[in-house]
């Protein structure tokens, strides 16, 4: 017992000693871990929706009045309960992020405490919307706002993490890439929201079954065009840009693979009428991943522009 106490004490002291001496590295690590957890949260949220598990826990924030509803547990209850658990852990770690950012603000970029505070505001608002989705019985506008806020939170974390990551610019003119990357990010975000509307209103099923809500479904289908065209334009311009940094070239490859995969998943889910749940969940998750990749690309090009300006001055 004494050995374990000594070990725990040593780990505790070494952890806080590291976070104090290297706050930027520790905070950067924490941000990327929260971002990964948020992507997983959106995937679990998509699974909860396609499995009709959104009201599997009839109360909020507890589930059947319990922290862990062991007696009522089944697949649907587990999905909704685990979705809430992941959200709670993300909220808790975001609070730690904000505290650490303000505590070590003298050793960090001046904007970081404010950016992390904005992320905390988003996750609090997200939690409120999460509660309303249950109390308002999955009202489609609240469910869509819930998804939209999650994507904004995810994008904010990605932008912060990319800004803090090690990056060596090549002083290449990438101003066009920055603009196209920002436009592609916005189009993909809107397309994700349209997909959320389709899912929250079961528009695909209603359109095929009774010719209802076809406008919602068709809006999502039409929305593929601007998002795809902007992303393909970004990829083509990036490939034609000389002396592009290695990170941006690698990101271009990842974006290409994710875009192709996303289109194929979209076609599959459409023709299978959303009957294969894993494909639908993968489609939602891949869209969020593409959004994150585009933000990372855009932030890196902005940093490349800063390098160019510094060299010119």
- Domain range list for the chain: 23-166, 167-313
84 exposed, middle or buried (CB, 10 Å; 0-12, 13-18, 19+)?
buried
Percent above pLDDT 70 for the chain: 90
pLDDT tier for residue 171 given thresholds of 50, 70 and 90: low
How far apart CA 116 and CA 109 sit, in angstroms, is 12
- Cβ–Cβ under 8 Å, residues 185 and 159: no
What does the pLDDT read at residue 210?
A: 79
pLDDT tens figures, 108-132: 999 999 999 999 999 999 999 999 9
Any idea which of 15-24, 41-50, 140-149 has the lowest mean pLDDT? 15-24
Helix 140-164 and helix 175-200: axis angle, to 10°?
A: 150
The tens digit of pLDDT for each residue in 224-242 reads 999 999 999 999 999 999 8
| Mean pLDDT, all residues of the chain | 89
What pLDDT was estimated at residue 12? 47
Predicted local distance difference test score (pLDDT) of residue 137: 87
In sequence order, which residues have a C-beta less than 8 Å from that of residue 143 and are 6 or more positions away? 49, 54, 133, 196, 200
């Amino acid at each position: 017992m004494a050995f374990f106490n000594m070990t725990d004490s040593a780990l505790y002291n070494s952890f806080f000693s590291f976070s104090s001496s290297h706050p930027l590295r520790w905070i950067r690590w924490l941000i990327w871990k929260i971002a990964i957890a948020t992507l997983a949260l959106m995937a679990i949220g998509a699974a909860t929706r396609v499995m009709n598990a959104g009201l599997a826990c009839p109360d909020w924030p507890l589930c059947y009045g319990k922290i862990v509803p062991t007696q009522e547990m089944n697949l649907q209850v587990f999905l909704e309960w685990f979705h809430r658990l992941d959200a709670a852990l993300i909220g808790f770690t975001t609070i730690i992020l904000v505290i650490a950012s303000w505590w070590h603000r003298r050793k960090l970029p001046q904007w970081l405490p404010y950016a992390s505070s904005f992320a905390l505001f988003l996750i609090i608002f997200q939690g409120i919307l999460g509660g309303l989705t249950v109390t308002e019985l999955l009202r489609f506008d609240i469910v869509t706002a819930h998804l939209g806020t999650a994507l904004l939170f995810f994008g904010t974390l990605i932008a912060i993490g990319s800004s803090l990551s090690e990056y060596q610019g090549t002083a290449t003119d990438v101003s066009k890439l920055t603009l196209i990357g920002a436009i592609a990010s916005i189009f993909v975000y809107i397309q994700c929201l349209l997909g959320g509307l389709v899912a929250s209103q079961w528009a695909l099923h209603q359109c095929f079954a009774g010719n209802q809500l076809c406008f919602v479904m068709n809006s999502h289908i039409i929305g593929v065009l601007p998002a795809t065209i902007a992303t393909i334009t970004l990829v083509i311009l990036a490939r034609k840009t000389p002396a592009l940094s290695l990170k941006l070239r690698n990101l271009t490859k990842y974006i290409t693979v994710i875009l192709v995969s996303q289109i194929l998943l979209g076609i599959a889910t459409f023709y299978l009428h959303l009957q294969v749940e894993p494909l639908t969940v993968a489609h939602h998750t891949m869209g969020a991943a593409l959004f994150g990749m585009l933000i990372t690309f855009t932030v890196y090009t902005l940093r490349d522009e800063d390098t160019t300006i510094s060299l010119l001055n």
